[in-house]
């Protein structure tokens, strides 16, 4: 019975925690197909240095890439700004550019409609953020193409309701990365300025520059100056008047430093219990929520994890991010990046690295 109650208590406590404001989020998507993994990793590193939550994918097939894009678009709508970097093959068909996922097999040009994804789908996802975003693509040329198809060599025309798209090649990638590295050292990073810094070499083109200011990083807010408070007025109380007995003090009242275990009408036990977090009238005490690790099997912890709400999982990811262990999207989905962060968290505590949190670890992350 106890084994059932404890996960319920923990899940309710995490679910009840208020979610942090999401409007300052910057979310990024980094995808590579083929030999551009290192370039994509370098871009991801710079985005993470700017504080962006990054979703990384390498060699996704068509179905996986569509799912990843939908996941990213959902988070983009709850963010201040976005940035997408793609290192992929891309082709034109009838004036429309398409991204080719891994495993795309084209027997005829019209197979693009089911085997590829339009670049415009990415630019429309990036623009979902409050300020907007940008898409930067390094195009990997293809040697053999069907009649009617051609490699993408220039940025597409600007489209209303879509973010800017910058196109480069592996040969012109160096200034793109250099601009990212330079920007990651600044306290303020504005996308329009960043894109302009990338346009320093022939072979790099852009659909247009943002019409509004979009910040990948905002300067730190100035701390408000402390307000000087007036000095407290000294008040002397006549001992005789306060005690009612001449020449003596009434010692029945207890000072905060007294050894008396009762304060404010509460016993010491009651006072301690009042400080414990409450969930639906049930207290989360160490005795019920932190059993010895040997008492918890992976199967039990997996079941515990399944009881966590999406909001509770966001809380865990946010806590891991605050400890500089998690760089991915704070979206309540426990994928490979979250598992790696959990293992790093467990390693920092010299505990078994399973990628699945124990009850004690969950409580520590949610406290």
How far apart are alpha carbons 121 and 66 in whole angstroms? 10
**Domain identity same for 8 and 53:** no
Higher pLDDT, 23 or 186: 186
Alpha-carbon torsion (8, 11, 13, 15), positive or negative: negative
Among 26-35, 253-262, 292-301, 345-354, the range of highest mean pLDDT: 26-35
Is residue 18 over pLDDT 50?
no
**Domain identity same for 207 and 61:** yes
Residue 24 neighbours by CB under 8 Å, 6+ apart: 80, 218
Question: CATH number of the domain that 181 lies in?
Answer: 3.40.50.1460
Q: How confident is the model at residue 363 (pLDDT cuts 50, 70, 90)?
A: confident
Residue 141: domain span? 26-217
**Domain identity same for 9 and 153:** no
Instruction: Give me the pLDDT at residue 231, please.
Output: 64
Is residue 207 over pLDDT 90?
yes
Residue 344, in any domain of the structure? yes
What Cα–Cα distance (Å) separates residue 242 from each residue in 233, 245, 249, 258?
19, 8, 8, 19
**Facing residues of 97 across strands?**
92
What Cα–Cα distance (Å) separates residue 353 from each residue in 342, 343, 350?
8, 5, 9
Residue 119, in any domain of the structure? yes
How far apart are alpha carbons 93 and 79 in whole angstroms? 33
pLDDT tens track for 45-93: 999 999 999 999 999 999 999 999 999 999 999 899 999 999 999 999 9
How far apart are alpha carbons 185 and 183 in whole angstroms? 5
* Contact call for residues 243 and 250 (beta carbons, < 8 A): yes
Q: Among 217, 241, 270, identify where a domain stops.
A: 217
**Domain identity same for 7 and 31:** no
Instruction: Give me the pLDDT at residue 259, please.
Output: 42
- Mean pLDDT of the chain, nearest integer: 80
Structure tokens at 296: 């918890």
How far apart are alpha carbons 236 and 125 in whole angstroms? 68
pLDDT tens track for 116-174: 999 999 999 999 999 999 999 999 999 889 999 999 999 999 988 899 999 999 999 99
Is residue 315 over pLDDT 50?
yes
Instruction: Give me the pLDDT at residue 303, please.
Output: 86
Residue 232, in any domain of the structure? no
Predicted TM-score of the model (pTM): 0.68
Residue 331 per-residue DSSP state: S
How far apart are alpha carbons 177 and 46 in whole angstroms? 8
For the ranges 156-170, 181-195, 240-254, 337-351, the lowest mean pLDDT is seen at 240-254
Residue 264, in any domain of the structure? no
**Domain identity same for 76 and 48:** yes
Residue 253, in any domain of the structure? no
Structure tokens at 86: 């793609």
Residue 163 per-residue DSSP state: -
Residue 327, in any domain of the structure? yes
Higher pLDDT, 283 or 158: 158
**Domain identity same for 288 and 193:** no
What Cα–Cα distance (Å) separates residue 54 from each residue in 32, 33, 176?
13, 17, 18
**Domain identity same for 40 and 10:** no
Q: DSSP of 13-79, one letter per residue?
A: HHHHSPPPP-TT-EEEEEEE-SS-HHHHHHHHHHHHHTT-EEEEEES--HHHHHHHHHHHHHHHTTS
Beta-strand pair 215-217/282-283: unpaired
Instruction: Give me the pLDDT at residue 226, please.
Output: 64
**Domain identity same for 78 and 150:** yes
**Domain identity same for 194 and 312:** no
**Domain identity same for 53 and 135:** yes
Q: Find where tokens 């990997």 sit.
A: 140
Higher pLDDT, 78 or 262: 78
What is the phi/psi pair of residue 243, to 5°?
A: -90, -25
Is residue 337 over pLDDT 70?
yes
Q: Among 217, 240, 275, identify where a domain stops.
A: 217
Residues 263-285, mean pLDDT to the nearest whole number:
39
Is residue 246 over pLDDT 60?
no
Among 218-232, 236-250, 273-287, 346-360, the range of highest mean pLDDT: 346-360
Report which of 96, 90, 73, 81 is spatially closest to residue 50, judged by C-alpha positions.
81
**Domain identity same for 211 and 312:** no
Calculate the CA dihedral of residues 61, 65, 66, 71 and round it to 10 degrees: 150
Q: How confident is the model at residue 335 (pLDDT cuts 50, 70, 90)?
A: confident
**Domain identity same for 206 and 67:** yes
Q: Among 187, 217, 247, identify where a domain stops.
A: 217
Q: Find where tokens 């670890």 sit.
A: 361
Number of domains forming the structure of the chain: 2
Residue 362, in any domain of the structure? yes
Residue 102, in any domain of the structure? yes
């Amino acid at each position: 019975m106890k084994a059932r109650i404890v996960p319920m208590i923990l899940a309710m406590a995490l679910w009840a925690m208020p979610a942090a404001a999401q409007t300052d989020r910057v979310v990024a998507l980094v995808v590579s197909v083929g030999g551009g993994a290192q370039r994509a990793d370098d871009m991801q590193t710079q985005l993470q240095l700017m504080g962006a939550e990054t979703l990384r994918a390498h060699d996704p097939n068509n179905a996986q890439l569509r799912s990843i894009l939908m996941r990213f678009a959902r988070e983009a709508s709850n963010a201040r700004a976005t940035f997408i970097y793609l290192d992929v093959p891309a082709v034109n068909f009838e004036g429309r550019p398409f991204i080719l996922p891994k495993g795309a097999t084209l027997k005829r040009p019209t197979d693009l409609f089911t085997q590829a994804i339009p670049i415009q789908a990415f630019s429309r996802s990036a623009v979902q953020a409050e300020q907007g975003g940008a898409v930067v693509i390094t195009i990997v040329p293809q040697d053999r193409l069907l009649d009617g198809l051609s490699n993408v060599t220039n940025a597409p025309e600007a489209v209303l309701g879509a973010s800017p798209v910058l196109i480069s090649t592996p040969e012109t990638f160096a200034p793109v990365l250099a601009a990212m590295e330079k920007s990651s050292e600044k306290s303020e990073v504005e996308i329009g300025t960043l894109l302009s810094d990338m346009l320093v070499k022939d072979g790099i083109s852009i659909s247009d520059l943002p019409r509004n200011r979009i910040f990948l990083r905002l300067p730190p807010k100035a701390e408000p100056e402390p307000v000087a408070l007036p000095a407290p007025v000294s008040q002397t109380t006549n001992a005789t008047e306060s005690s009612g007995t001449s020449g003596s003090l009434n010692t029945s009242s207890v000072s905060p430093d007294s050894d008396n275990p009762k304060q404010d009408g509460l016993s010491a036990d009651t006072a301690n219990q009042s400080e414990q977090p409450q969930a639906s009238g049930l207290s989360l005490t160490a005795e019920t929520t932190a059993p010895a690790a040997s008492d918890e099997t992976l199967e039990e912890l997996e079941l515990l994890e399944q009881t966590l709400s999406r909001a509770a999982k966001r809380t865990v990811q946010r806590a891991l991010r605050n400890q500089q262990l998690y760089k991915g999207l704070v979206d309540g989905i426990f994928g490979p990046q979250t598992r790696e962060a959990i293992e790093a968290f467990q390693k920092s505590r010299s505990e078994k690295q399973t990628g699945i949190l124990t009850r004690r670890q969950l409580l520590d992350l949610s406290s």
